[in-house]
Structure 1
Amino acid sequence: MNEKFFDLKKEKQDRIINAALKAFALGGYMHASTDDIVRMAGISKGLIFHYFETKLGLYQFVYDYSTRVINIEINTGISKDETDFFTIREEVEKVLATCMKQYPYIRLFLYSAAREDTPEAATAILPAREAFEANLKSILDRGDITRFKQDANYELVENIVEMTKEGVLQGRFREGDFRADDYLAEVIRYLEMLRVLTYD
């Protein structure tokens, strides 16, 4: 990647990043079109290749950029003293919603990238993906599981939480008018319901 990309005005950087996030989130690496990206970003195709050389270079950049943005927000926005299982997850979602106000497709892109099956794309993001997932896991693992009812399997609850969050996100985008605050409010309602159902 050409570091001069960061010499562009921030508004233009974000247009390019958001266009790439949307294309890769909706189409995966294989089906995302650089023609669509440059059209959405309002730039020339030559500019993409000037800064990123290849479509793979752009994909790797937006993944690295996305995880870096989220990690910074997570590491500064979540209390290191918090141990409640559901409160930690609510705080993570608040951080993600903040990121989605600037980069609406960032979370959807990360869900898509986690399932990426194009070998060169999956390999290109693997180190950043492993580091990101390890950082997130270290935060989520602080959650106290001793408050769960005896017959409430916290691992299954975690699976429900993850599937619910992705389902809500997908649904909000399908409705066509995504708002990060609405997404967050809906996810928190589900988390609060699960807290009531699974805690002693």
Structure 2
Amino acid sequence: MHPSFIKVSEEKQRNIINAALNEFSKHPYETASTNKIVKEAGISKGILFRYFGNKKSLYLFLYEYVLDKLSEAIFADLKLADPDVFERYKQLISMKMNLVQQNPAFFHFMNRVLIEKSPEVTTELEKIQSLKEENNYDKFLTDIDYSFFKEEIDTKYALDTIKWVLDGISNRYDQQLKESIHDIDSFNTLIDQCTVEIEEYFHFLKPLFYK
């Protein structure tokens, strides 16, 4: 969090974050208005830029903030004590779906980020996402029980394969999800279809890798 921003009261932080979420959820980065953000937050533009420097810095902060909050919520409830990697993935998928429903502001903002095309921010968004995913993946694999795997199986390759399958399925649904961001029912239907397909692949992969 930006040093000057962390010093202000939690209420003021919350007002600014909520106002920024609201504006960036409704509009692409380039047309989102900092004037509207400061008006809704009840602060001056000078104060906003004192905290974040510029619009780009605010936007990237907001993206990282949302990713961190979602990760915190997931790992607070994820049963890392369960040593079965397939069961952990099932929990993870279920939690992500629940978080979408519990945090509509985060949901709308993240879906707007999915279709963001501004060259001013897209590269840095990808870098932030990649770093967060790498860190979360390492944490996700904590205390996995490798004895479940067949002795002849290279567990690194097996874990990579599971992840690639999940990434591949997610990428296949990505465009459809982007096109349905304004229709929550269609979006949820696609999520359900994606979840079913993941379950089917797990059913296929588990006997290949496990004893």
TM-score category, normalised to shorter length: 0.5 to 0.7
- How far the C-alpha of 1:139 sits from its partner, in A, is 0.4
Partner of 2:177: 172
Paired residue for 1:7, among 4, 7, 11? Answer: 11
Structure 1's 195 and 129: CA in aligned 2 closer, same or farther, altered over 3 A? closer
- How far the C-alpha of 1:182 sits from its partner, in A, is 3.9
Specify the SS of the correspondent of 1:67. Answer: helix
**Structure 1 Cα separation of the partners of residues 88 and 22 of structure 2:** 27
Structure 1's 68 and 119: CA in aligned 2 closer, same or farther, altered over 3 A? closer
Unaligned runs of 5+ in 1: none
Unaligned runs of 5+ in 2: none
- How far the C-alpha of 1:109 sits from its partner, in A, is 6.7
Structure 1's 131 and 42: CA in aligned 2 closer, same or farther, altered over 3 A? closer
The AA in structure 2 aligned to 1:93 is I
Equivalent residues of 2:21, 2:62 under 8 A apart: yes
Give 4+ residue runs of structure 1 displaced > 6 Å after superposition: 39-42, 109-113
- How far the C-alpha of 1:66 sits from its partner, in A, is 1.4
Give the alignment of 1:29-108 within 5 angstroms.
32-33=29-30, 35-37=31-33, 43=39, 50-51=47-48, 52-101=52-101, 102=103, 103-105=106-108, 107-108=110-111
- How far the C-alpha of 1:69 sits from its partner, in A, is 0.4
**Structure 2 Cα separation of the partners of residues 177 and 42 of structure 1:** 29
Whether 2:203 is the aligned partner of 1:196: answer yes
Return the structure number with greater relative CO, CA threshold 8 A, min gap 6: 1
Equivalent residues of 1:71, 1:132 under 8 A apart: no
The AA in structure 2 aligned to 1:130 is L
- How far the C-alpha of 1:105 sits from its partner, in A, is 4.1
TM-score by length of 1: 0.65
Partner of 2:21: 17
Q: CA RMSD in A?
A: 4.3
**Structure 1 Cα separation of the partners of residues 149 and 75 of structure 2:** 25
Which has the greater radius of gyration?
2
Structure 1's 83 and 111: CA in aligned 2 closer, same or farther, altered over 3 A? farther
**Structure 1 Cα separation of the partners of residues 111 and 171 of structure 2:** 8
Query: Identity across aligned pairs (percent)?
Result: 10
Equivalent residues of 2:80, 2:88 under 8 A apart: no
**Structure 1 Cα separation of the partners of residues 24 and 145 of structure 2:** 34
TM-score by length of 2: 0.62
- How far the C-alpha of 1:62 sits from its partner, in A, is 1.0
Structure 1's 162 and 120: CA in aligned 2 closer, same or farther, altered over 3 A? closer
Aligned residues: 186
The AA in structure 1 aligned to 2:60 is Q
